Structure 1
Amino acid sequence: MRVSTRHTPAFGVARLLLSAGEAVEADARAMVASSFGVVETRAGRRGGRTGSVFTAPQTGGWIDLAPDDAGDVHPVELDGRVGWSVARAAVLARPATVRRDHPWPAHQALFGSDAGFLEHYSGTGPLVLAARGPVDAFALEAGEVITVSPAYVLGYPDPVQCRLRAVDPAGPQSVRTGEGLALDFAGPGTVLLQTRARR
């Protein structure tokens, strides 16, 4: 699968170029258009969304996807060695070679037994993310630390160190939404942020 984008960063559309018989999983509502012969199969509901698998015919094909919210679409290429933690519900599309890892030990350390606001993906191929607003990429040097509000986190690779803490220990907090919490990221690595909060 190859990915090209257009209308970014305000109203991103991702075109997925599929080889013969190749399949991709995406939110059913995100499909804008496809080449003739691409077959859609409903894959069930997860996180309040209906997932679909789109499969190209033997001649190959393409599918255009757009997220619900205005903003950027950002492909991240997974190389089979380094996984990515991404905001829950931020994945627009992924091929069968990219898997969602649940549970993920590093997330269990952050969130305990609760389902937090991040998901982990690994494998090979492009993971297409949907952001609210344009994407900001913070390239952190070794030992460089930044603090980010969870509502603005889009994703980060495994080598980046992450610590979750309360903004005000006496205030309300939620690991499901990130309310009342902050994330400290330490390099080396790149942290992707969206410039409009996901509520």
Structure 2
Amino acid sequence: MRVQTRHTPNFGVARVLLSPGEAVQAAGDTMLASSFGITETVPSRGGSRAGKAAPSVFNAPEGGGWIDFAPLAAGDVYPLEFNGGGGWCVSRDAILARPSTVRHDPGWAPLQKLFGADSGFLEHYSGSGPLVLAAQGPVDAFELTAGELVTVRPDFLLAYPDTVQCRLRAVDQSGPQSVRTGEGLALDFAGPGRVLVQARNRRLSHG
């Protein structure tokens, strides 16, 4: 699977190029167009994961093909490349398209430690290939050297790799807090590594 992007960074569209027999997962209502012969398997009505609808699976025919995916809200599209080594923690609402070679790891221990028993605003992925993310506004990045620190609000966070150390804390101990949405919380990161952020607040953008 390969990814080409256009109309970035404000109104991004991702073209996913599939080899013969390859498949990609994505929400059905983000499929803008495709080459002829692409088939879509729609999940059953009861299918859901972490409170959201299960994605459709798009399959390429014998000759391969392409699919254009457009996020439901204006913003950037960003192919995050996995190299088969370490994984990434990704904002739960940021996944636009995922190849079968990139795995979702729901039981990843560091996130369970971060959020406790609750389902938090991050998911962990590993494997190889491009995981296509949808951002609010342009994608920006903090390139952290060893020991360098930065604080990011959850509504602006897009993704960070396993090489980065992360701590979750309350902005105000007496204020409302939610690990589900990130409300009232902040993330402290320590390098080395790259922290990807989006230039607009996700919750406010959807409002």
Shorter-chain TM range is: over 0.9
- Establish whether residue 58 from structure 1 lines up as the match of residue 62 from structure 2: yes
TM superposition score normalised by structure 1: 0.98
Q: Quote the residue 2:41 is aligned against.
A: 41
Structure 2: distance between partners of 1:21 and 1:174:
41
Q: Could you state the TM-score of these two structures normalised by the residue count of structure 2?
A: 0.94
- Sequence identity (%): 68
**Match in the other structure for 2:79:** 75
Cα contact 1:20–1:57 (8 A) shared by 2: yes
Structure 1 runs, 4 residues or longer, greater than 2 Å off: 43-50
- SS of 1:29's partner is helix
**Counterpart of 2:42 in 1: which secondary structure?**
strand
Structure 2 matches for 1:127-146, cutoff 5 A? Answer: 127-146=131-150
Which amino acid is 1:148 matched to?
V
Q: Which amino acid aligns with 2:14?
A: A
Structure 2 residues without counterparts, runs of 5 or longer: none
Consecutive unaligned residues of structure 1, counting only runs of 5 or more, are none
What are the equivalent positions in structure 2 for 1:182-193 lying under 5 Å apart? 182-193=186-197
Instruction: Tell me the secondary structure at the aligned position of residue 55 of structure 2.
Output: strand
Deviation at 1:50, TM superposition (A): 4.6
The one-letter amino acid paired with 2:27 is: D
**1:110 aligned residue:** 114
For 1:45, the aligned partner's letter is S
After superposition, the C-alpha distances for 1:70-128 in whole angstroms (9 at most, x for unaligned) are 00000011111110100012110111111110121111111001000000001111100
Q: Distance in 2 between matches of 1:106 and 1:45?
A: 24
Paired letter, 2:2: R
| 2:177 aligned with 1:176 | no
Q: What CA distance in whole angstroms lies between the structure 2 residues aligned with 1:77 and 1:157?
A: 11
Match for residue 19 of structure 2? 19
Q: Is the 8 A contact 1:95 1:125 kept in 2?
A: yes
Aligned-residue CA RMSD in angstroms? 0.9
